[in-house]
Structure formats: structure tokens, C-alpha cells
Amino acid sequence: MAIPKIIHYVWVGPRPLPEEDRQRVEAWRSAMPDWDFRFWNNDTVNFGSRYLAQAYSVRAWNRVSDYTRMDALTRFGGIYLDTDMDLIRPLDPLLDNTAFLGFQRGDERPDVMVNGAIFGTEPGHWLPSALRDIFDKQLHGGKNIGSFAGPGLITKVLRDNGLQGYSDEIIHVRDVTVYPRRFFYPYSWLEEYSPEVVTPDTIAVHRWAETWVVKNPGYWTRLKRLWTRQMARCMPKTALRNAQIAARRGSQQTAERG
């Protein structure tokens, strides 16, 4: 068995797919005309799942997207792409994997090393199925849809299955291939994109949801507060001060754009 030529992408909520993202999807289609593209949206997502229904009811669009990608990969296999993913070349060479993901950070953030903005599996694979099951178990009556999702959840499940830490080489966790940062995440979400980040190994570039990260004026303020709380627990004072300076610069850059 191999990963099928299916691209899944998700956009839910009241806003239409941004024009920039729509153009990206068209570029995907042009680069891979023999692939099957499946757009999961308000009309095509099956909200029969209790988790999805509750996530949608409280407008937790990112949770709807997280669950939907895991469900689609479990049932159909293929490759999920965030709509802010620029393709550098067609994805056909990735189809020989049983499943694959990519590192987004190094060992400086061991809790969120692996991202699912590009995520490929064969149908019925254990990893998206396990992630989907965890989402379902996060329901505790009421409207609590859980706060543990995204890279944190993916990284934890992989660590539970043998992931030791970041590697600049391609590694395998059970039958899951994990690619180094340069393949899909060649620049950090705290950095500015430039064409120079693309390497000979880069297959796609995650643009870090610039449609919302850059345009939300309060984002960097919240990030700075979060860093202050979390990093104080595990970083020396000098390193913490440097992290705060980086966050402050990001806030200033956002204000200049706005």
C-alpha cells in the first residue's frame, strides 16, 4: 500500500477562503493535475461527530480543522495541506511513505517539535486515528472541547511512540517518517519569510498563517505574555530576556505593518 494521490484541505467558519489561499490551491492543482483534491468546508464536513459539533458551536475553527484532517486521513488516506502552504515541487516523491510529517522546531521547544500543516498517511493509519480518538476523549460533558491540539498533541503522541528529539536527518518513528525542518518549515513562525529560506531539499514552505498572525494586532502582545510565563520556568534570566526582546520586536513589526 502507498499514500494515495489525494490532497485534503480545510476551511470552515463564516469567512470565505482568502483570495491568497485560493490562489495557492489553484497552484497546487496546476502542479499536480492528476491528483484528487478534496475541500472540506461548512458544506462538506460531516458534523455528526460530537466533538466537531461542539467545536463548531463555540466557533473553534482550528479545532474543527484539526479533527477534520485526522478523520479524512484515517478514512481516505492522502496528504493534508494547510491552505497557507506554498509548494516548491510536486509531492509525488512523498507517496512512498507509509506516513509522514515534519519537524517545525528544534530541541529548544521539545513539546511542539512536529507540525501537521502537511501530513500524509495511508488510509487506516494508526497515527491520525489515534489523534482523532484523543480529540473525542477531550470532551467532558458541557462545551469543553479540550485545549490540547495541534503540534503539541502530535509531538506527544510521537514521543509516546519513540520520538527522542529533533534531527537534521530524516528519521522514522515506528512507520512514520519525520522530515527535518528544511523540507517543510525552513523558517520559524517568529521570522520573516524570504526566498533564501528555500533549500535544495525544500518541498513546501509553510507560511505560518500570515493572513491571521500578521494582521492580528494583539497577537504579539499575547505571545509575549505567554513566553514570559512559560519560559521563566525553564530558562536562565539572560535567555528569558532575549526571548522577551524577540517578542517585543515582533510586536513592533506588526504595528508598523498595520
Give residue-wise pLDDT tens across range 78-114.
Answer: 999 999 999 999 999 999 999 999 999 777 777 889 9
Say yes or no to pLDDT of 255 above 90.
no
Predicted confidence at residue 89, as pLDDT, reads: 96
Q: Which of 100-104, 118-122, 253-257 has the lowest mean pLDDT?
A: 253-257
Say yes or no to pLDDT of 194 above 70.
yes
Q: Over the chain, what is the mean pLDDT?
A: 83
Predicted confidence at residue 257, as pLDDT, reads: 40
Average of per-residue pLDDT across 235-258: 50
Predicted confidence at residue 160, as pLDDT, reads: 96
Average of per-residue pLDDT across 4-27: 96
Predicted confidence at residue 258, as pLDDT, reads: 41
C-alpha cell at 253: 513589526
Q: Which of 16-25, 66-75, 87-96, 103-112 has the lowest mean pLDDT?
A: 103-112
Q: Which residues of 166-202 are buried (b: 16+ CB within 10 A; e: fewer)?
A: bbeeebebeebbbbbbbbbbbbebeeeeeeebbeeeb
Average of per-residue pLDDT across 164-180: 96
C-alpha cell at 70: 485526522
Predicted confidence at residue 137, as pLDDT, reads: 84
pLDDT tier, 39 (very low <50, low <70, confident <90, very high otherwise): very high
Count of CB atoms within 10 A of residue 136's CB?
13
Say yes or no to pLDDT of 256 above 80.
no
pLDDT tier, 233 (very low <50, low <70, confident <90, very high otherwise): low
Say yes or no to pLDDT of 140 above 80.
no
Asked if residues 112 and 152 have their Cβ atoms less than 8 Å apart, the reply is yes
Asked if residues 102 and 183 have their Cβ atoms less than 8 Å apart, the reply is yes
The candidate with the shortest Cα–Cα distance to 67, out of 56, 79, 78, 83, is: 56
Q: Which of 6-20, 30-44, 106-120 has the lowest mean pLDDT?
A: 106-120
Say yes or no to pLDDT of 244 above 70.
no
Say yes or no to pLDDT of 127 above 90.
yes
Predicted confidence at residue 131, as pLDDT, reads: 95
